[in-house]
Amino acid sequence: MKIQERMGAGAGRAAAPAQPSVGDRLPSPPRERKPALAALAVLLILLGALGATMLVLRVGDRVEAIQVTANVKAGDSITKDNIKVVMVNEDSGADFVLWEQRASLMKLQAKSTIYEGTVVVGQMFADKAAMEQGKATVGVALKEGQYPAGLGEGDNVAVYRVGSKASSTDQDSSSGSTGADNSLLVERAVVESAPGSGGDGITSTSKAFTLTVDAADAAAVAQAASAGEVALVLVPGK
Q: pLDDT tens, 48-91?
A: 777 766 665 555 578 899 999 999 887 788 999 999 999 988 77
Q: Is the pLDDT of residue 174 over 50?
A: no
d(CA 130, CA 136): 11
Q: Is the pLDDT of residue 41 over 80?
A: no
Percent of the chain with pLDDT over 70: 66
The pLDDT confidence band at residue 188, using thresholds 50, 70 and 90, is very high
Report field, pTM of the whole predicted structure over 0.85: no
Q: How many Cα atoms sit within 13 Å of 184 on the Cβ side?
A: 10
| Amino acid 176: pLDDT | 43
d(CA 204, CA 52): 66
Mean pLDDT score of the chain, rounded to an integer?
Answer: 77
**Which runs of consecutive H residues, i.e. helices, occur in the chain?**
2-15, 35-57, 102-105, 164-173, 215-226
* pLDDT tens by residue, 201-230: 444 567 899 999 999 999 999 999 989 999
Nearest alpha carbon to residue 158 among 186, 200, 199: 186
The pLDDT confidence band at residue 24, using thresholds 50, 70 and 90, is low
Cβ atoms of 151 and 192 within 8 Å: the answer is no
d(CA 184, CA 81): 38
CATH 1.10.10.10 fits 62-127, yes or no: no
Burial class (CB in 10 A: 0-12, 13-18, 19+), 90: middle
| Amino acid 200: pLDDT | 45
**DSSP secondary structure of 91-151:** GGS--BPBGGGHHHHTTEEESS-B-TTPBPBGGGEEEPPPPPTTEEEEEEEEETTSS-TT-
Nearest alpha carbon to residue 94 among 54, 60, 68, 71: 60
Cβ atoms of 208 and 143 within 8 Å: the answer is no
- φ/ψ of residue 48, rounded to 5: -65, -40
Q: Is the pLDDT of residue 168 over 50?
A: yes
d(CA 179, CA 79): 46
Cβ atoms of 166 and 229 within 8 Å: the answer is yes
In the chain, CATH 3.90.1210.10 sits at: 62-127
| Amino acid 66: pLDDT | 95
The pLDDT confidence band at residue 175, using thresholds 50, 70 and 90, is very low
Bin 148: left if φ > 0, else alpha if -120 < ψ < 50, else beta.
Answer: beta
Question: SS3 for 230?
Answer: strand
| Amino acid 196: pLDDT | 67
Percent of the chain with pLDDT over 90: 34
| Amino acid 102: pLDDT | 93
Other beta carbons within 10 Å of 53: 10
